[in-house]
């Protein structure tokens, strides 16, 4: 069993099929690692080991009969926000502690149907609204690379579980970088799929009906330790919700290219609203030079690139108006009075956020119209380029900071910037529903991993996933954090 802790998903599947290891043995290896390391990491906050052991025994019986399923016997971790029948779904809300849904989320159903063994649920921030993962019910999740730092959020428990060698596949979700930021901070892989590619039903706040209607902006997706595993998991879980599948099926186009020498790449490492740290810029320079050497056509600028400030502010308007819809009446009215003093032409993100929180339906419609114009501009850009490479956040993982979110800051090369500006790089793919694959590309001088996002055309997820595979082959990928080998 030695070495399978950090084996790829594909290698674990192969080991199970060849009976190099049994599903029960692989599960016990997973449980042993959680029991050894999770007191200090705190990633798997809801443990379902009894039912997992029963599922592993059933997988062993199926393997003995020669049966096949893509994940048969593989341990899988699930983000706490996904419904799993018999386990609590709280989203970190103290008043939801102990609440249990009646049925599994759609993605959990697909994992189980593929033979995956759910071992438990991973930690999240309260309401999923942070790039850290802590709450009053389950406490704080730490980054395996540096326990004093954030593993990212809101899928930080899943990224930490992967980096610590607990599982080879975990589920997450993303509306503000919640798949991509944890991957970036923990040195793993994640795929934010094209909107509606994977069904989000059941990734739902506690006591909320799990309906098949897709949310605006939000998506669900897989997290792994290798790019090829990410492709495998994405394609396995993709497809319309069963309610919609009565009318259509998924047929994705193939990747635009198979090798670097056929890819047209636009590299962007600066944003008009937020600087990028030196370590991240240096990493992008190294990748750009390496891609050119490998035969890719690489550009660092393009007149076709849509306005990134307009993109970020449109995204912030649509995103924050969702949060404002659930605000208590007295809070909403107080904010309405406060935003009256903001100059109507101010496009500072902090002013856009405050206005958007109390935006009316007409404001949302106008922002959505801007989104449609931007989507057309991005389609035109992708006539000239196959992928766009850009940062996920401007720095590697930052130290834990549980102060008031409104007063927090980002330290970028010694200068502070508003904490919510973390959203600007996430906004590009999220606003337009584009696929974005997060891949590790380097280490900081302190030894912290960092990554980049590979953005591609809508519904051309194969293209970004294939590019991530090539990046892994050419530049390397995940390596275990010291102290967890």
Q: Which of 442, 458, 461 shows the shortest CA–CA distance to 450?
A: 442
Question: Are the beta carbons of 169 and 12 closer than 8 angstroms?
Answer: no
Coil, strand or helix: which one is 142? coil
Question: Are the beta carbons of 40 and 147 closer than 8 angstroms?
Answer: yes
Q: Find the Cα–Cα–Cα–Cα dihedral 225, 392, 80, 9, rounded to 10°.
A: -10
Question: Are the beta carbons of 115 and 73 closer than 8 angstroms?
Answer: yes
Q: Which of 473, 463, 472, 475 shows the shortest CA–CA distance to 257?
A: 463
Question: Are the beta carbons of 70 and 163 closer than 8 angstroms?
Answer: no
Instruction: Name residues whose C-beta falls within 8 Å of residue 296's C-beta, 6 or more positions apart in sequence.
Output: 260, 261, 263, 264, 265
Identify the burial level of 350 via C-beta atoms within 10 angstroms of its C-beta, where 0-12 means exposed, 13-18 middle and 19 or more buried. Answer: middle
- The answer to whether the peptide bond before residue 154 is cis (omega within 30 degrees of 0) is yes
Give the chain's radius of gyration (CA, Å).
21
Strand 415-418 to 409-412 pairing: antiparallel
Question: Are the beta carbons of 458 and 374 closer than 8 angstroms?
Answer: no
Which residues does the annotation mark as catalytic? 79, 154, 178
State which H helix or E strand residue 412 sits in: strand 409-412
- In this structure, how many other beta carbons lie within 10 angstroms of the beta carbon of residue 281? 16
> Dihedrals φ, ψ of 316, to 5°?
-60, -35
Report how far residue 92's alpha carbon sits from residue 373's, in angstroms, rounded to the nearest whole number.
37
């Amino acid at each position: 069993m030695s070495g399978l802790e950090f084996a790829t998903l594909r290698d674990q599947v192969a080991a199970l099929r060849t009976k190099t290891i049994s599903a029960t043995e692989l599960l016990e290896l997973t449980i042993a690692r959680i029991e050894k390391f999770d007191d200090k990491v705190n990633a798997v906050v809801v443990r379902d080991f009894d039912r997992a052991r029963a599922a592993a025994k059933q997988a062993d019986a199926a393997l003995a009969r020669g049966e096949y399923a893509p994940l048969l016997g593989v341990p899988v971790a699930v983000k706490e926000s996904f419904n799993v029948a018999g386990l609590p779904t709280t989203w970190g809300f103290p008043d939801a502690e102990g609440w249990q849904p009646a049925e599994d989320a759609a993605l959990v159903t697909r994992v189980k149907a593929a033979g995956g063994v759910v071992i438990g649920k991973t930690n999240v921030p309260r309401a999923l609204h942070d790039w850290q993962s802590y709450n009053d019910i389950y406490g704080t999740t730490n980054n395996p690379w540096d326990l004093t730092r954030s593993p990212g959020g809101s899928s930080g428990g899943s990224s930490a579980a992967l980096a610590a060698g607990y599982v080879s596949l975990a589920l997450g979700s993303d509306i503000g970088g919640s798949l991509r930021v944890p991957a970036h901070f923990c040195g793993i892989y994640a795929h934010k799929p094209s909107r509606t590619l994977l069904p989000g039903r059941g990734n739902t706040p506690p006591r909320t009906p799990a309906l098949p209607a897709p949310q605006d902006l939000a998506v669900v997706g897989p997290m792994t330790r290798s790019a090829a595993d990410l492709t495998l998991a994405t394609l396995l879980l993709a497809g319309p919700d069963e309610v919609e599948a009565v009318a259509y099926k998924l047929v994705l186009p193939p990747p635009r290219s198979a090798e670097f020498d056929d890819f047209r790449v636009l590299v962007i490492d600066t944003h008009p609203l937020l600087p990028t740290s030196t370590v991240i810029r240096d990493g992008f320079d190294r990748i750009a030079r390496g891609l050119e050497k490998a035969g890719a056509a690489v550009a660092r600028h393009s007149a076709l690139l849509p306005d990134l400030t307009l993109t970020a502010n449109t995204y912030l308007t649509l995103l924050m108006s969702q949060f404002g819809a659930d605000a208590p009446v007295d809070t909403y009215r107080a904010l309405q009075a406060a935003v009256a003093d903001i100059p109507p032409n101010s496009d500072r993100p902090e002013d856009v956020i405050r206005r958007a929180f109390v935006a009316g339906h007409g404001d949302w419609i106008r922002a959505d119209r801007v989104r449609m114009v931007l989507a057309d501009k991005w389609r035109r850009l992708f006539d000239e380029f196959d992928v766009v490479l850009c940062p996920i956040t401007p720095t590697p993982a930052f130290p834990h900071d549980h102060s008031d979110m409104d007063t927090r800051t980002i330290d970028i090369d010694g200068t502070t910037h508003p904490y919510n500006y973390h959203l600007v790089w996430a906004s590009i793919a999220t606003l337009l529903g584009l696929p974005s694959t997060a891949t590790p590309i380097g280490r900081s001088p302190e030894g912290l991993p960092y990554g980049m996002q590979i953005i591609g055309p809508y519904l051309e997820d194969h293209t970004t996933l294939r590019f991530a595979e090539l990046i892994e082959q050419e530049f390397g990928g995940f390596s275990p954090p010291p102290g967890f080998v």
